[in-house]
Amino acid sequence: MEKAPRILDQVRERIRLKHYSIRTEVTYLKWIRRFILFRGKVHPRELGPGAIEAFLTDLAVKGRVAASTQNQALNAILFPYREVLQSSTPALEGVVRASRTRRLPRIGKDKTPPRPKPPIPSLGFRAPGW
């Protein structure tokens, strides 16, 4: 009797079938593996939206990841639900979102004029045609 392929093998096969980048494949598998280990090695089919919300909230609160990292993890975790398990994407409402970093304005740098360049030292003679 043949064993059913593991979820990570199914995800890898589906990613390659869709011609995703190898870096995307490696990253998605890393996030899915972390999610499965976070939930105590329970198959994602048996986990509901609460497990995904708990993982993403843990990333934001305890892991202090950037918002883009949390979004990447979310897309990676939802991939097997959409593409491999063919189940509807669970609605996620209670996720604590990582805050986006605020870009601070650069003050003082733009207001000071550029320093003049030092003069080129004289060579003691004039070039032809001068």
Q: Find the CATH number of the domain harbouring 14.
A: 1.10.150.130
Q: 33 lies in which domain range?
A: 7-84
Does 11 fall in a domain? yes
Does 44 fall in a domain? yes
Query: How many domains, the chain?
Result: 1
Instruction: Please give the Cα distance from 70 to 3 (Å, whole number).
Output: 33
| pLDDT score for 99 | 64
Average pLDDT, the chain: 80
The per-residue pLDDT for range 92-123, each reduced to its tens digit, is 666 666 666 666 666 665 666 667 777 777 66
Does 71 fall in a domain? yes
State pTM to two decimals.
Answer: 0.68
The per-residue pLDDT for range 12-65, each reduced to its tens digit, is 999 999 999 999 999 999 999 999 888 888 887 787 788 888 888 888 888 888
Does 26 fall in a domain? yes
Does 80 fall in a domain? yes
Does 78 fall in a domain? yes
* Residue 83 pLDDT > 90: no
| pLDDT score for 105 | 66
